[in-house]
Structure formats: structure tokens, C-alpha cells
């Protein structure tokens, strides 16, 4: 499969797709997939633009809105992660990923998907130590502080990615892993970017959690951007994946002798097994005469046609499910479970068990990612706002996205944006849809499979979604229960979250109108346990 990789897109989608078209024409090939490594700038309109962290004079609507409005159509499946210049409000609507426009898919805070069998993982944002241990507490409209912290990487996403056990073909990040420059032509890099030297020396160039992920995940390819130059490196691994089970981002030791024993290479006459290597490639930003795009031919399943097969990753979904209780939307630091010396008090290894995987695959008969893009706000109108750089526009309020609603209901996980709004005493907005009248080709199609239980009395949910005007939030938050239900996925509270039972109701979401779930039979809406209800309460117990 031919994959084009883009460094920082900076809203230049038209230019990127034009470049792809040129490459296709010149080399008489078809590019099957475009991967963008952040600073994507999916600003749909002027309100979105106000949520982007950039000096005011650089606020430019660029070209994404054309792909959002339908004026242009992305000619190739495009997958991107977030960087540090984004329509943060829009990306926050899609914490687990989703379509930002037809054929343009955001991977979420972190995500794993499969395209024609090529397994692609990624993480959005950049690392800032002072925000790493916080929950996802931000929501629009943002303050001066939250408009930046919203794109700072959190430990939960790193922890989740470290649980992956299978082979990862491609990993996407915006920043570079620290130390990566030791595995490529460092001297040449320093000639291009001499001011990197000080940060290299102090270990500040790049992201430490990404270095840990590189050692833990050991993907075949790693693509990055942010430092605005092309740089390639080959990173050998010692054979065994770094111990990822502890889940403590601070631990990144390796165990080389163990792996040698396991592989039987020590003292044996067999030739040593080839060392696993990650091919790292960073690209520049999209500017003329800059190395911003690279095309690679990556082995994949036979391409049955166009578009390629695009699927959720079963192991990743299982991890999202089993770590749902670890979501925090508080601003204060919190700690994820780890192996404490002597005593293991709660689960800390979330690499899915066989049972977890098979229960997940039984639930999702098809992992195909539904093509359920919907416009939820009006697109930028260049005629109406021809002079927009001189107009004053406010920040948008939070919106909830129907794609996330569907995903969370189907998987039984929480939407962190909902939690953050509730935790701050905000009313949940109804799930919005901008297009009341959809063009036929844009009719909302939710991927629904027949229920396994043939005797199920409810009809297979094949009807289109309810009309936008009738749609309401599909989220049911139960009142506190006196008898705690036993649920294998629910882990006892850490001490700081222990709370006494209260008869007072917490927050109840508005009336629920069932929406067919994406890829499964009846939605299993997460039943919020006491721990989660605690999160939802407005008072801050810092």
C-alpha cells in the first residue's frame, strides 16, 4: 500500500492534496492513504479559529473548511493526530477519534486503527511535564491557560498505548521522542538546526513519554513532525519489548539478557535473530521547497479496492474499555495504578486477556469504522467573512459530537468532554447536527450488524438515524446505588476517590432517545459506578 506521510499540515490541505495528485501523475501510482503528524488545523469556522493556540496575527482559516463544508472532497483517506495548533474545541468532541470531514479521520487523544491490515497507532499533542499527570479537565470556551494545556499529552493515553501487545506497523506523534537524534545523522541535523544543541545536551529536545513509547511499542515505522525539518533514524531494539505492564510512565528500563535467553541466541549456534528496528522519519511543515511529504510503500493486505478497509483495533478497544475507570477530568495530579513493591492492590496490567479480547470481538461483529461524519456547526463562508481578520469573534461553547456519542454507547466508555462539563456544573449541550437537510450521498449511515441473538424481539437497527431535530443526548447516568454492582471492569477506588454513599442524586442527563450503536447490537451504555459519579460531582475535592 502506498502511504503518503505529511509533517505539520498547518491547514494547507489543498496544497497537500495537490502535491499528492502531482506525485500520482508523475509516478503513475495511486496513493492509498495520507497520514498527517499534527498541527492539522481542522478549523471549520471563525469560532473554531479562536480556540487555536497561536498569536492572533497568525489566525488564518486556511483550507480545511472547504473539506468540512463539502466544497472539496478529500481525494484520499486521511488520518491525522493533533499537534499544538489545532481547533481544540473540535478535536475535544472526538476524544476517541472520528471523522472531522468526509474521508478525514482524527485518531483521538490516542488511537489505534487498521487500514488494509496495516496497524496504525498514534498520540496527539505535545509533552509538558506540568500537565502530564492531570486529568482532561479542559473544555471550551478556554481560558488563556486551558487553551494551551488542552493539547498537552496526558499520562492516561501513554499508559493505554503501553498496554498494546501486538505488532504495531506505524506510530504517529507530533513531537519527536527524546534521544532519537542519536540514531540518525545528528551532525547534519545540527547544521540545519544549530539551536537544537542546547536542548539536546539538556535532554529537552523532544518528548520523554514518546521515548518510552518507542521502546515499549517498537513499531516498524515512526513518523513525526513539529521540529520543522526532515530527519531519519534507525532505532534498534534489544528484541524484547520494554516492560510495559507496570504502566508507570517513569519506568523505561530494558531487559536485554532476558530476551537473549528467551530467544535462545546466547550460547547457541543458531544465527542471532534479526534485531527489531524502528524506522523513524520526521518531516517538515507544508511550505514550498520544504521536505514535507514522503511516500512509502508499506506491505499490507491485498487492496481489494478503493477506499481501503478501515477498521477499529480490537486490542485497543479492549484497552479503552478496561481502563475507562482511569479517566480523570480533574485538574489536579493523579496517579495510575502501578506495581508497588510488595503489594499489588489493583490491576495495573491492561494488556487484554484472551477473555477480554473474545468478549470484545463477540460484541463487535464488525470492526469497520462507520462512515458517520456529520456537520455539527456551520462552515466558514468566505463571502460573508471576506474581511474576517479584522473582525472580533468569540470562542465557541462546547458541543457534543454524535460520533462520540455513538462510539461511547457502543463500547460502554465515557466521553471525557461530557465528564469535564458535568464536573464543572455545566449543562450538557444536546448533540448538535448542523445539516437538517442532508444531501443523499451524505445520509448518515451507521454501521450496524444483525444482533447475534436471532430471537431478539427488537428489529435490527437498520433505519437511518432519527431526524436531527429529535436527537438527544444518548447518555444515561444513574443515580447513586446503595448496593454496588459487581463488575469485573470496575476497580476499587484509589483512596483519594473513596466516598461515602449518598442518597442525593448526582447528575442526570436529559431524556434519552436511543441511537443505533455503531458497530454492535444493543448499546451497552456504561453504568457509572460510584467512582465515576464522584468524578461527575461539581464540587472540587482537591
- The contact set with ligand 5GP (CB under 6 A) reads 8, 39, 84-85, 195-196, 199, 204-205, 226-228
Q: In terms of CB distance, is 177 or 239 closer to Mn ion?
A: 177
Instruction: Indicate the pairing of strand 118-123 with strand 170-172.
Output: parallel
Residue closer to ligand 5GP (CB basis): 134 or 226: 226
The residue of the chain with the least Cβ separation from ligand 5GP equals: 228
SS3 (DSSP) at 122: strand
Q: What is the DSSP string of 342-385?
A: S---S----SPPHHHHHHHHHH-S--BPP------SPPP-TTTT
Position 10 contacts Mn ion (CB under 5 A): no
Q: Which is nearer to Mn ion, 207 or 324 (CB)?
A: 207
147: Cα within 13 Å, side-chain hemisphere: 17
- Write the interaction track for Mn ion spanning residues 73-112; mark x where CB under 5 A is met and - where it is not: ----------xx----------------------------
Residue 477 · residue 506 · CB < 8 Å:
yes
Rounded least distance, CB 124 to Mn ion, Å: 11
Q: How far is the CB of 11 from Mn ion (least distance, A)?
A: 12
Residue nearest to Mn ion (CB): 226
Q: Residue 39 interacts with Mn ion (CB under 5 A)?
A: yes
- List the beta strands (DSSP E) in 32-156: 33-36, 77-80, 98-101, 104-106, 110-115, 118-123
244 binds, among ligand 5GP, Mn ion, none (CB under 5 to 8 A by kind): none
Of 202 and 253, nearer to ligand 5GP (C-beta) is 202
Q: Which of ligand 5GP, Mn ion, none lies near 205, with the C-beta cut-off 5 to 8 A by kind?
A: ligand 5GP
- CA dist 151 and 83 (Å) reads 7
Instruction: Show Cβ contacts of residue 367 under 8 Å, excluding neighbours closer than 6 positions.
Output: 114, 311, 312, 313, 314, 317, 361, 519
309 touches 368 (CB < 8 A)? yes
Peptide bond into 141 cis (omega under 30): yes
Choice from 226, 241, 325, 530 touching Mn ion (CB under 5 A): 226
| Binding partner selected for residue 313 from Mn ion, ligand 5GP, none, CB under the kind-specific 5 to 8 Å limit | none
- Interaction partner, residue 492 (ligand 5GP, Mn ion, none; CB < 5-8 Å by kind): none
Q: Is 285 in the site for Mn ion (CB under 5 A)?
A: no
**Pick from ligand 5GP, Mn ion, none: which does 525 bind, CB < 5 to 8 A by kind?**
none
| CB 56 to ligand 5GP: min, Å | 14
Answer whether 219's CB lies under 8 Å from 164's CB: no
- CB of 417 vs Mn ion, minimal distance in Å: 23
Shortest gap between Cβ of 190 and ligand 5GP (angstroms)?
11
Residue 195 binds what, of Mn ion, ligand 5GP, none (CB under 5 to 8 Å, by partner type)? ligand 5GP
405 burial type by CB count under 10 A (0-12 exposed, 13-18 middle, 19+ buried): buried
Q: Nearest Cα to 94, choosing from 376, 412, 298, 513?
A: 376
In the complex, least distance from residue 121 CB atom to Mn ion, rounded to whole angstroms = 19
Q: What order do you get walking across the sheet with 310-312 strand by strand? A: 231-236, 277-282, 221-224, 170-172, 118-123, 110-115, 310-312
Nearest residue to 116 (alpha-carbon basis) of 37, 222, 32, 34: 32
> Of the two residues 132 and 151, which places its CB atom closer to Mn ion in the complex?
151
The minimum distance between CB 48 and ligand 5GP, in angstroms, equals 18
Is the separation of the CB atoms in 518 and 447 below 8 Å?
yes
Binding site for Mn ion (CB under 5 A): 39, 83-84, 226
Amino acid at each position: 500500500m502506498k502511504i503518503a506521510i505529511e509533517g505539520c499540515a498547518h491547514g494547507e490541505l489543498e496544497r497537500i492534496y495537490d502535491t499528492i495528485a502531482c506525485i500520482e501523475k508523475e509516478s503513475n501510482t495511486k496513493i492509498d492513504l495520507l497520514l498527517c503528524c499534527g498541527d492539522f488545523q481542522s478549523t471549520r469556522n471563525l469560532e473554531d479559529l479562536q480556540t487555536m493556540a497561536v498569536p492572533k496575527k497568525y489566525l488564518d482559516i486556511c483550507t480545511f473548511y472547504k473539506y468540512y463544508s463539502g466544497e472539496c472532497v478529500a481525494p484520499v483517506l486521511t488520518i491525522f493526530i493533533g499537534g499544538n495548533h489545532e481547533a481544540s474545541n473540535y478535536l475535544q468532541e472526538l476524544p476517541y477519534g472520528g471523522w472531522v470531514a468526509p474521508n478525514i479521520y482524527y485518531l483521538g487523544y490516542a488511537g489505534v486503527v487498521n487500514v488494509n491490515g496495516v496497524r496504525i497507532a498514534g498520540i496527539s499533542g505535545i509533552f509538558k511535564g506540568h500537565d502530564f499527570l492531570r486529568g482532561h479537565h479542559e473544555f471550551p470556551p478556554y481560558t488563556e491557560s486551558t487553551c494551551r494545556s488542552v493539547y498537552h499529552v496526558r499520562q492516561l493515553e501513554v499508559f493505554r498505548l503501553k498496554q498494546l501487545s501486538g505488532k504495531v506497523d506505524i506510530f504517529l506523534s507530533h513531537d519527536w521522542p527524546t534521544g532519537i537524534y542519536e540514531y540518525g545523522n545528528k551532525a547534519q541535523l545540527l547544521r540545519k538546526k544549530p539551536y537544537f544543541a542546547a536542548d539536546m545536551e539538556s535532554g529537552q529536545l523532544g518528548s520523554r513519554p514518546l521515548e518510552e513509547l518507542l521502546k515499549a511499542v517498537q513499531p516498524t515505522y515512526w513518523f513525526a513532525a513539529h521540529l520543522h525539518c526532515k530527519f531519519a533514524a534507525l532505532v534498534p531494539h534489544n528484541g524484547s519489548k520494554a516492560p510495559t505492564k507496570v504502566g508507570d510512565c517513569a519506568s523505561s528500563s530494558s531487559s536485554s539478557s532476558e530476551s537473549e535467553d528467551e530467544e535462545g541466541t546466547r550460547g547457541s549456534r543458531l544465527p542471532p535473530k534479526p534485531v527489531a528496528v524502528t524506522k523513524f522519519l520526521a518531516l517538515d511543515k507544508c511550505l514550498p521547497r520544504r521536505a514535507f511529504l514522503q511516500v512509502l510503500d508499506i506491505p499490507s493486505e491485498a487492496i481489494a479496492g478503493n477506499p481501503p478497509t478501515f477498521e477499529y483495533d480490537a486490542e485497543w478497544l479492549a484497552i479503552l474499555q478496561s481502563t475507562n475507570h482511569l479517566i480523570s477530568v480533574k485538574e489536579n495530579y493523579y496517579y495510575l495504578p502501578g506495581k508497588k513493591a510488595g503489594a499489588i492492590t489493583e490491576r495495573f496490567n491492561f494488556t487484554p486477556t484472551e477473555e477480554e479480547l473474545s468478549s470484545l470481538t463477540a460484541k463487535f461483529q464488525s470492526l469497520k469504522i462507520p462512515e458517520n461524519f456529520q456537520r455539527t456547526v456551520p462552515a466558514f463562508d468566505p463571502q460573508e467573512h471576506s474581511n474576517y481578520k479584522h473582525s472580533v469573534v468569540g470562542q465557541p461553547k462546547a458541543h457534543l459530537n454524535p460520533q462520540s456519542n455513538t462510539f461511547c454507547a457502543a463500547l460502554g466508555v465515557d466521553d471525557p468532554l461530557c465528564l469535564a462539563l458535568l464536573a464543572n456544573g455545566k449543562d450538557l449541550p444536546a448533540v448538535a447536527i448542523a445539516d437538517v437537510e442532508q444531501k443523499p450521498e451524505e445520509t448518515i449511515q451507521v454501521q450496524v450488524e444483525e444482533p447475534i441473538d436471532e430471537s431478539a424481539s427488537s428489529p435490527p437497527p437498520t433505519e437511518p438515524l432519527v431526524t436531527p431535530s429529535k436527537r438527544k443526548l444518548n447518555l444515561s447516568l444513574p443515580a447513586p446505588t446503595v448496593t454496588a454492582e459487581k463488575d469485573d471492569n470496575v476497580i476499587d477506588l484509589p483512596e483519594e476517590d473513596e466516598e461515602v454513599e449518598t442518597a442525593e442524586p448526582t447528575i442526570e442527563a436529559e431524556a434519552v432517545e436511543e441511537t443505533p450503536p455503531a458497530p454492535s447490537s444493543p448499546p451497552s451504555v456504561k453504568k457509572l459506578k460510584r467512582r465515576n459519579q464522584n468524578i461527575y460531582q461539581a464540587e472540587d475535592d482537591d
